[in-house]
Structure 1
Amino acid sequence: MKILFFSAMPYDKYFFIRENEQYGFELEFLETHLGPHIVNAVEEGTPVVCTFVNDKLTEEVIGILAAKGVKVLALRCAGFNNVNLEAARKHGIRVCRVPAYSPEAVAEHAVAMLLTLNRKTHKAYNRVREQNFSLNGLLGFNLHGKTVGVVGTGKIGKAFCRIMAGFGCRVIAADPFPDADLTAAGVEYLPLTEVFAMSDIISLHCPLAPESQYLINRDSLALMKKGVTIINTSRGGLLHTADVIESLKSGQIAYLGIDVYEQEEKLFFKDLSGSIIADDTIQRLMSFPNVLVTGHQAFFTEEALQQIAQVTLRSVDQLCNGKPLDEAVILV
């Protein structure tokens, strides 16, 4: 049975080919992302299509896939805001995802971004390589004793809370479903507006949904302390980028770390070092000395990629061969 991969990178091939030894699927890898521009190239009778975060699974695309005989859409990621689930349901296509793959990978990257911005290790590294050992401009602050607000305490947010508690921070959180383990460990759940108002550092770990789009905007930024630090390793659409830029210019935001960007499908996972980037917004963000941008790297650990391959192939095997399903991974 054939699985056609879109947005496939060399590391995808390595881990999926390795994990496929126990299944024997026919794997085909395409570097291009899936969208209306390429969907007609999918061969008739392809039963499974495997996609990633920037593939566009619109109603049009899903309809064409269904007409070509696709039965399963396997998302090798946790988010599914790029998939029209109702269209998949209408066309009888099953959809599965990887709801949790080494949540510690993303949580640890969020902490790495926070520490880098605060202690300016990226700047120190470049200075020392030029034999400049001056400390001027590298002043940071202690994380110990700071109030850290966590928006979303699923598996990734929970891992982040535990790490920050280990630094001696006061951890407060906003989530419609408080986690009993975190509450017992001292995490205080508060309304979102209070989390925004009380936090020195805010880290976003919630999914992108209609109600969370542009969660960070002009109004919510006005609630925050002047000089707040914001870290986003979740989805780019949680930030209203123009409002964030204005807050960076005014000093309302002291530090910003983003591993995701609303228009990232045109940029991330590509080597554009020899190109002129036409996106003025990302260029503006990268011009700030107190902004750190990484290219959707937070998930990128060996453990996470191994788990992604394992869960994806197991789910395809279950869906296509009538085996008992792991309901946690099934969306449709």
Structure 2
Amino acid sequence: MKILVYNHRADETEYFQKFKEKYNVDLMLTDKTPTIETADFAKGFDCISIITTPINAALIKKFNDVGVKFISTRTIGYDHIDIKKAKELRIGVGNVTYSPRSVADYTVMMILMATRKVKAIMQNSYVQDYSLEGIQGKELHNLTVGVIGTGKIGRTVIKNLKGFECNIIAYDINENEEVKAHAKYVKLEELLMSSDVITVHVPGAEDNYHLINKNSISKMKDGVFIINTARGSIINTYDFIDAVEKGKIGGAALDVIENETNLYYKNLKGEVLGNRELAVLKSYPNVIITPHTAFYTDQAVSDMVENSILSCIAFYEGKENPWKVL
């Protein structure tokens, strides 16, 4: 079996080499992005491994034409792949799982940074303003944290938060018994109304599109803190900006934003960004923006590489594939 790896990064090299030898697979690495022009690289390969580059219908068809039978994305989310077209052409699709602690630890860090006003503190310190005005924070044990989505990452966030002795409530369409030992499940509306901090851990599926919008924000407490380490499409950016400017949202930490494709993971220093909302969000002293890096640990990268390879192997050998999406 042959696997072509697109968007190979230097930090992945040692893991691809390690698991290539461990699983005895034929790998070719390229730092090129999958496009109509680079799809021909995949001729003769059974599987391709990608990251977050949009794989639209035309590109799916092109890969089908050159003989690709399976697409593995080295990400949990797969909303960047045209699943409908892949199904039509009978091309398999798989995602990966990786250490939930990577995103969960980062999430707790962002909750603390937002509630303790770390961005404002650091901005002040850069200009040697060491006054206390405007930087008084909150202590977590006095707050109610609402966790939307209790999959592996959401559950790990809840476990991490228990040590801070805060009140934790959760919402998920599928309740988990493990969560009930640490948090109370409530309806979504109650979570929105009762939480001082809301952290989101749901996939970027159609059902979750703009889950946080003008209507849902109106139900939240005044001064609520919003944390998003999931997908940018979950938040309606225009409604969010309006709520920040009106003071409804007291602070936020966003590792993902809408329309981040072709921005994140590139060095754009000195360039004008084609995302006005990002520029606006970065300007607020109470909004922390990071470039989709919550996942980025050595363990997570190793897991992403290994599980992408294992997913391709399972597909090729016709075995049970825990990462199979289609």
**TM-score tier after normalising by the smaller chain length:** over 0.9
TM superposition shift of 1:247: 0.4
Structure 2 SS opposite 1:328? coil
Contact 1:39/1:64 (CA < 8 Å) preserved in 2? no
* Contact 2:42 2:68 (C-alpha < 8 Å) held by counterparts: no
How far 1:317 sits from its partner (Å)? 1.8
Distance 1:58 1:133 in 2: 51
Over 3 Å counting, the alpha-carbon distance change for 1:195 and 1:12 in structure 2 is: same
Q: Deviations over 1:44-83 (max 9, x none)?
A: 2222111112x21222211111110001111111111122
Q: Supply the distance in 2 between the matched residues of 1:278 and 1:203 (Cα, whole angstroms).
A: 27
- Following superposition of structure 1 onto structure 2, how do residues 95-134 of structure 1 map, counting pairs within 5 Å? 95-98=93-96, 100-125=97-122, 133-134=130-131
After superposition, give the CA deviation of every residue in 1:167-212 in whole Å (9 maximum; x if it has no partner): 1111111101111111133x11111111111100000001111121
Matching residue of 1:241: 237
- Equivalent residue in structure 2 for 1:227, among 212, 223, 230: 223
In the superposition, the TM-score normalised over structure 1's length comes to 0.92
- How far is the alpha carbon of 1:132 from its aligned partner? 5.3
Moved more, 71-80 or 238-247: 71-80
- Within the alignment, does 1:80 sit opposite 2:74 as a pair? no
Partner of 1:296: 292
Q: Give the corresponding residue for 2:270.
A: 274
Query: Which letter maps to 1:60?
Result: A
1: CA distance, partners of 2:262 / 2:322? 31
Name the amino acid aligned to 2:112. Answer: L
Q: Distance in 2 between matches of 1:38 and 1:175?
A: 42
CA contact (8 A) 2:50 2:72 kept: yes
Contact 2:32 2:38 in 1 (8 A): no
Q: Which residue of 2 aligns with 1:331?
A: 325
Residue 136 of structure 2 aligns to which amino acid in structure 1? L
Q: What's the CA shift string for 1:8-31, capped at 9, x where partnerless?
A: 322123322232221343333333
Amino acid at match of 2:174: F
Alignment of 1:1-332 (within 5 A): 1-35=1-35, 37-53=36-52, 55-98=53-96, 100-125=97-122, 133-185=130-182, 187-322=183-318, 324-325=319-320, 327-332=321-326
Q: Is the 8 A contact 1:39 1:61 kept in 2?
A: no
Question: CA–CA distance in 2 between the matches of 1:130 and 1:318?
Answer: 56
Secondary structure at the aligned position of 1:231 is classed as strand
* Amino acid paired to 1:115: L
Q: Which whole-Å deviations, capped at 9, do the CAs of 1:69-103 have from their partners, x for residues lacking one? A: 001111111111122223222222222211x3111
Deviation at 1:129, TM superposition (A): 6.5
Task: List alignment gaps of at least 5 residues for structure 2.
Answer: none
Which moved further from structure 2: 190-199 or 271-280? 271-280
> Against the structure 1 CA distance between its residues 294 and 222, is the aligned structure 2 distance closer, same or farther, given a 3 Å change threshold?
same
Give unpaired runs (5+ residues) of structure 1. Answer: none
CA distance in 2, matches of 1:310, 1:22: 10
SS in 2 for 1:95: strand
Render the CA deviation track for 1:207-238: whole Å, top value 9, x for unaligned. Answer: 11112100111111100011000000000000
**Separation of aligned partners in 2, 1:123 and 1:197:** 27
Distance in 2, Cα, partners of 1:277 & 1:85: 29
- The RMSD of aligned alpha carbons is 1.9
Distance 1:167 1:317 in 2: 42
Q: Secondary structure at the match of 1:148?
A: strand
Is the 2:119–2:286 contact (alpha carbons within 8 Å) kept by the matching residues of 1? no
In the alignment, is the contact (CA less than 8 A) between 2:40 and 2:66 conserved in 1? Answer: no
* Counterpart code for 1:66: N
